[in-house]
Amino acid sequence: MLKHIFFDLDNTLTKSRRRIDLRHEELFARLCAERDVIVVTGGTQIHIEEQLGPSKGGYFILAQSGNHAVDKNGGTLWEEKLSGQQTQACLDFIEKLKRAFAITVKDESDLIDNRGAQIGYSVIGYHEDPAKKDAFDAGFARRKAMLAQFRDEVGNLRVVGIEVFPAGSSGFNFTIIGKDKGVNVARLMQREHWNKDECIYVGDALDPGENDYSVVGVIATHAVSSPDETFEYVKTLL
State the pLDDT at residue 171. Answer: 95
State the pLDDT at residue 8. Answer: 98
Residues 171 and 89 in one domain: yes
Q: What angle do CA 54, 60, 66 make, to 5 degrees?
A: 115
Per-residue pLDDT band for 90 (boundaries 50, 70, 90) equals very high
* Domain around 135: 84-176
Residue 138 has pLDDT above 90, yes or no: no
State the pLDDT at residue 92. Answer: 98
What average pLDDT score do residues 36-58 get?
96
DSSP letter at 152 equals H
Residues 183 and 110 in one domain: no
Residues 96 and 170 in one domain: yes
Domain count for the chain, please give it: 2
Residues 75 and 97 in one domain: no
Strand extents, DSSP E, 117-167: 119-122, 162-167
State the pLDDT at residue 139. Answer: 87
Enclosing H/E stretch for 220: strand 220-223
Which residues is 199 bridged to in the sheet?
Answer: 4
Which domain CATH number covers 91?
3.30.1240.20
pLDDT, tens digit, for every residue of 181-218? 999 999 999 999 999 999 999 999 999 989 999 999 99
Is the CB of residue 22 less than 8 Å from the CB of residue 53? no
Residues 43 and 15 in one domain: yes
Residues 113 and 164 in one domain: yes
Which domain CATH number covers 14?
3.40.50.1000
Taken in order 125, 130, 135, 139, the sign of the CA dihedral is: positive
Number of CB atoms found within 10 A of residue 70's CB:
22
Residue 16 has pLDDT above 90, yes or no: no
Residues 74 and 90 in one domain: no
Residues 26 and 75 in one domain: yes
Give percent of the chain with pLDDT exceeding 90: 95
Residue 63 has pLDDT above 90, yes or no: yes
- Provide the angle, in degrees to the nearest 10, between the axes of the packed helices 151-159 and 84-101: 170
Q: CB-based contacts of 124: which residues, under 8 Å, 6+ apart?
A: 103, 105, 132, 133, 136, 170
